[in-house]
Amino acid sequence: MTVGIIELLTIFVLAAFVGNEVISKVPSILHTPLMSGSNAIHGIILVGTMVVLADAHGPAELVLGFLAVLLASLNVVGGFVVTDRMLEMFKTKPEARKQGADNRASDSATGDGANPGGKPS
Amino acid sequence: MTLASINFTLADGRDLVYLLVGIGFILALKGLSAPRGARRGNLVGAAAALVGIAITFTDPALRDHVPGVSHGLNLALMLIAMALGTAIAVPAARKVKMTAMPQMVAIFNGVGGGAAALVSITEFLKFPHGTVAVYKIFEVLFGVVVGCVSFSGSAIAFAKLQELMTGRPITYPGQQAINALVGLAITALVLTTLVTASVPIMVVVLILGLVLGVIFVLPIGGADVPVLISLLNSFTGLAVAASGFTLNSNLLIIAGTLVGASGILLTRMMSKAMGRSLPNILFSAFGSVITAGGGEGGQERPVKSGTPDDIGVLLAYARKVAIVPGYGLAVAQAQHVARELADALTAKGVEVYYAIHPVAGRMPGHMNVLLAEANVPYDQLKEMEQANPEMSTTDVALVVGANDTVNPAAKTTPGSPIYGMPIVNADEAGAVIFLKRSMRPGFAGIDNELLYDEKTTLLFGDAKDSLQKLVAAVEAA
């Protein structure tokens, strides 16, 4: 499919406005996961690298394409996994909060010493 | 009507799916900007990416037979590369310590920039001679330069955070002039290439792009590296968008531009949280000189240090204690012990809260993530704006491995490099306790007057050890 430069520019400009609007209010607590999550999203360059490698002629293009697919896979897979791991920690929050309010006074004696290594993953 | 349905080709269908993937990314970003939907947002993004990758296997480039291309080989290499990437990335992402998250994001960002640059380079090599529109060449070169800057810049950012090299700004005479010259050289060569489409010149542009990434990051101090990573993340997004123009891909343009635009906004939010402008962060070599708080020889001034037992008693008999965490807590992995101390104090009837500076640690929100890992109750976490009004009624501020974020010079010393940065007002508490490894100043390299204040007591040592001793002391008190 041939798309004109103007159509592509239109997509570009509109996407830029959306990008600016969509994260207008982020609590600082989420700055890190948001950075990490958007990092994963640009890993979709993998789609581009796949096309480039599929189309590669000759050893030079094959090597470049192979490297590109490898790097992009690292980006997209690692990016989403690492973000999920960060956010995993926020997940238990509502429970912890309820418990914390209920047995705030008594829970320290037993403590959480039994689970020093944090959560299993 | 029927004509339209006949004309709806597989290519249209694929582009439609790509559009849906793009919408998925928009929803992912939206989800990620509120605590409630954050995790789901990320999963939506991951699912969208998976769909996008799957549908790409229907692309003609991957299916149609082209003379001179042995498709089996290319596809096999593709699957190997994808499997290899996944096999490396998943364990790396799962095993990385919470303290090393910033470095991890830097790496994943850098490889993404590298991938975008490689796409652009390969497309450049494929250009037929003399028949390429100038804007096509520009898109490709933009992708090469920005991707390379992001790649090498992220590598240096990683090295700084991983302490493979000094975290302090590296400066040399004429630095700004040299950076400007490299930038100018790149611009000139890009303009030349627009006309000549010469491969050797493109290679020079590529190398200069890598060099620019390195020299751009060298003068940025470790404390500012998170802001830098956010900026480089945004750069990678733009490089991906450039690849999208080259490959006529609506998805790459949407995804890349989303990240590029939101990344720049996020970068500005972060610098705002530090009370500084982005140019100041990028170009001022902040923290290269250790400025003494009052006169020189700050190290020799008397400080008061206490034993864990003394401090334990002070804490146990306080009414209200604020824990102010910083990077020292993160490196010592002391978040669990900090929670134990808070629990021990709560059991003694002490009101405990955590006063969290937005840029404490190495990334904004770093402390929240760490403390969440230790299951600290939400209602004990207070952002700086909520915590500061309470400081004057707080008996003890326990500063665990923080320094610059409680430095009163930000309020009192107009000449100080951090002047104007919002800080946690630990100095307003009745007493201040610093858990520190040494008298070394913080990342900004500025001496902290609060250390010498007469209401301040220091406890030297690893934050985790010191906290453990304090837990024992509080329980015994």
Q: What is the pLDDT of residue B291?
A: 42
Q: Using the beta-carbon criterion (under 8 Å), do A107 and B229 form an inter-chain contact?
A: no
Contacts of A30 (CB under 8 A, 6+ apart): B32, B33, B34, B35, B38, B365
Per-domain boundaries in chain B: 8-60, 104-288, 303-476
**What's the average model confidence in pLDDT over B259-271?**
90
Q: A-chain residues within 8 Å CB-CB of B135? A: 5
B290 touches A at CB < 8 Å? no
ipTM (interface predicted TM): 0.77
* Nearest one of B339, B355, B346, B356 to B315, comparing CA atoms: B346
Residue B283: per-residue pLDDT: 80
Q: List, for residues B285-334, the tens digit of each pLDDT value.
A: 665 554 433 333 444 567 888 888 889 888 988 999 999 998 888 878 88
Q: How confident is the model at residue B30 (pLDDT cuts 50, 70, 90)?
A: very high
Task: With beta carbons under 8 A apart, name residues in chain B contacting A65.
Answer: 74, 77-78, 118, 122
Which of these, B182, B113, B116, lies nearest to B151 by C-alpha position? B113
- Return the pLDDT at B292: 37
Q: Which residue does chain B place closest to A100, by CA atoms?
A: B377
Overall average pLDDT of the B173-194 stretch: 90
Q: Which two tokens stand for residue B415?
A: 């000449």
pLDDT for B441 equals 66
CB contact under 8 A, B378 and A47: no
Inter-chain CB proximity B256 and A43 less than 8 Å: no
Tell me: pLDDT of B79 over 70: yes
The residue among A68 and B68 whose pLDDT is bigger is A68
DSSP letter, residue B291: B
Q: Which of B460, B39, B37, B61 is nearest to A54 (CA)?
A: B61
**pLDDT tier at A116, thresholds 50, 70, 90:** very low
Portion 360-379 of B in contact with A at CB < 8 A: 363-366, 368-369, 372-375, 377-379
Question: Measured at the alpha carbon of residue B387, what is the angle toward residues B381 and B388, in degrees to the nearest 5?
Answer: 160
Mean pLDDT for A59-67 is: 93
Q: Choose between B205 and B452: higher pLDDT.
A: B205
Contact of B404 with B442, CB cutoff 8 Å: yes
Q: What is the pLDDT of residue B444?
A: 62
pLDDT at A23: 85
pLDDT for the residue B144: 96
Active-site entry in B15, B343, B404, B453: B404
For the four alpha carbons of B107, B284, B188 and B264, in that order, the dihedral sign comes to positive
> What per-residue confidence (pLDDT) applies to B224?
80
How far B171 CA lies from chain A's nearest CA (Å)?
28
Best residue in B108, B235, B381 for a mutation probing chain A (most A CBs within 10 Å): B108
CA distances to B295, B297, B322, B384, B440 from B300, rounded to whole Å, are 11, 6, 29, 32, 12
The predicted-structure confidence for B337-351, as pLDDT tens digits, reads as follows 999 999 999 998 999
CA-based nearest distance B167→chain A, Å: 20
A79, closest residue in chain B (CA to CA): B108
Q: Is B104 an interface residue toward A (CB < 8 Å)?
A: yes
Give A120 to chain B, closest Cα distance, Å: 11
**pLDDT tens-place string over residues B377-430:** 878 888 888 889 999 899 999 999 888 888 888 888 877 767 777 889 998 998
Within chain A, what is the greatest distance between any pair of CA atoms?
71
Confidence at residue B453, expressed as pLDDT on a 0 to 100 scale = 85
Distance CA B299, CA B196 (A): 60
Cβ B81 vs Cβ A38: under 8 Å:
no
Q: Say yes or no: B107 contacts chain A, CB-CB below 8 A.
A: yes
The pLDDT-based confidence of B282 (bands split at 50, 70, 90) is confident
Q: Is B182 on the interface with A (CB under 8 A)?
A: no
- Rounded to a whole number, what is the distance in Å from the CA of A59 to chain B's nearest CA? 11
The pLDDT of residue B371? 86
Closest CB to B108: pick one of A3, A74, A113.
A74
pLDDT digits (tens, 9 = 90+) for A12-40: 999 999 999 988 778 777 888 899 999 99
User: How does residue B7 score in pLDDT terms, banded at 50, 70 and 90?
Assistant: low
Q: Is B379 a catalytic site residue?
A: no
Is the pTM higher than 0.80?
no
Higher pLDDT, B152 or A25: B152
pLDDT (0 to 100) of residue A118:
37
Q: How confident is the model at residue A2 (pLDDT cuts 50, 70, 90)?
A: low
Count other C-beta atoms under 10 Å from residue B234's C-beta: 28
Q: Which residues of B touch A60 (CB under 8 A)?
A: 125
DSSP type of residue A121: -
| pLDDT value, residue B68 | 57
Min Cα distance A10 → chain B (Å) is 10
Q: Which of A18-32, A97-111, B279-293, B438-452 has the lowest mean pLDDT?
A: A97-111
- The per-residue pLDDT of chain A, averaged, comes to 77
Residues of A whose CB is below 8 A from B230: 35
Q: Which residues of B touch A5 (CB under 8 A)?
A: 135, 245
Q: What is the mean pLDDT of chain B?
A: 86
Percent of chain B scoring above 70 in pLDDT: 91
pLDDT computed for residue B384 by the predictor: 87
Q: Where are the domains of chain A?
A: 42-91
Start-to-end Cα distance in chain B: 84
pLDDT confidence of residue B70:
62
Distance CA A72, CA A80 (A): 12
- Angle of helix B250-273 relative to helix A31-41, nearest 10 degrees, comes to 160
Percent over 90 (pLDDT), chain A: 46
CATH of domain B303-476: 3.40.50.1220
Q: Is B259 in contact with B157 (CB distance < 8 Å)? A: no
What's the confidence (pLDDT) of residue B375?
85
CB-nearest to A51 from B49, B59, B241 is B59
Chain A residues in contact with B379 (beta carbon < 8 A): 97, 100-101
**Which B residues 212-241 touch A at CB under 8 Å?**
229-230, 233, 236-237, 240-241
* Chain A hits for B108, Cβ within 8 Å: 39-40, 43, 74-75, 78-79, 82
Q: Which residue of A has its CA nearest to B125?
A: A61
B43 Cβ under 8 Å from any chain A Cβ = yes
